[in-house]
Amino acid sequence: MKTLYSKAIWFLFAFFSIVIGLYPLLYFVFGRQFGVLNSHDSEQLSNFIWNSAFYTHIVLGGLALAIGWIQFNQKLRDRNRKLHKKIGMVYVTAVFFSGLAGVYVAIYTLGGIIASLGFGLLGITWLATTMMGWKTAKAKDFDAHENWMIYSYAACFAAVTLRIYLPILENIMGGFIPAYRVVAWLCWVPNIAVAYWLVENRRKKRLSLKKP
Ligand code: HEM
């Protein structure tokens, strides 16, 4: 029963990561009349720096999300360390550029200062936890590495939770902008709380294994 339950969780985790990871491709299929591009003014849409940041953010963010979940599969990790390292480097590089671009687009996001602060802090959290994950892997402190990467992917997974909560919030609050202000925080703060709970569980398990 437990394995069936954890298999279902794994399936959903992988499914949402891949589907939302591929979602930015729709911006290339539908062009400029799609998603948030529909709501920004023409001055913003003709700004070269903003456009570069926006497309860098969504393409590399999608890549990080689509591949990141693989790294948490212990069997795969133990069987092929080299592949784990390669995917890890692609993930860290993608987060670095997508995260920096994400913080930049957060300044000009729809929803004003409340949404800007929410997304901005998310971007900083994503960058900081990922860089710590990379640094601890380099130092071969693999326990700390796994903990930091749990936090990093919890931040990355905000892209999934945002797209689940936003339509619900829009319905409850009766508009896109108020819902966007709330979701800029709600998409990631609970994810970090879940990550904290996972990290604590890992710590307790390790301690109980050490006891004679
Ligand atoms: C975790 C850190 C992230 C931050 C700080 C962040 C920040 C932002 C911000 C501020 C916007 C709004 C742009 C606007 O309103 O003008 C945005 C939009 C977007 N982001 Fe991210 N994002 C993050 C992660 C991701 C990831 C992992 C993906 C991968 C799918 C992603 C894909 C997108 C897409 C496709 C949009 C366009 C809006 C939409 O169509 O829903 N983001 N992001």
Contacts with 124 (C-beta within 8 Å, 6 or more apart), sequence order: 103
Tell me whether residue 3 is in a domain: no
Count how many Cα atoms sit within 13 Å of the Cα of residue 71 in the half-sphere of its side chain. 25
Question: CB-based contacts of 71: which residues, under 8 Å, 6+ apart?
Answer: 77, 84, 87, 88, 91, 149, 153
Tell me the pLDDT tens digit for each residue of 61-120: 999 999 999 999 999 899 999 999 999 999 999 999 999 999 999 999 999 999 999 999
70, exposed or middle or buried, with CB in 10 Å at 0-12, 13-18, 19+?
middle
Q: Which atom of ligand 1 is nearest to the CA of 122?
A: 5
Ligand 1 pocket, residues with Cβ under 6 angstroms: 20-21, 23-24, 35-36, 57-58, 61-62, 64-65, 99, 102, 105-106, 108-110, 119, 122-123, 126, 155-156, 158-159
Q: What residue numbers bound the domain in which 32 lies?
A: 15-210
Q: Percentage of the chain with pLDDT > 70?
A: 98
Q: Which residues contact 167 (CB under 8 A, 6 or more apart)?
A: none
Specify if 2 maps to a domain: no
Give pLDDT tens digits for 37-54: 999 999 999 999 999 999
Q: Does residue 6 fall inside a structural domain?
A: no
State pTM to two decimals. 0.94
155 CA distance to ligand 1 middle (Å)? 11
φ/ψ of 211, rounded to 5, equals -65, 140
* CA gyration radius, the chain: 18
Task: Provide the domain count of the chain.
Answer: 1
Question: Measured over all CA atoms, what is the biggest interatomic distance in the chain, rounded to whole angstroms?
Answer: 67
Q: Is residue 9 part of a domain?
A: no
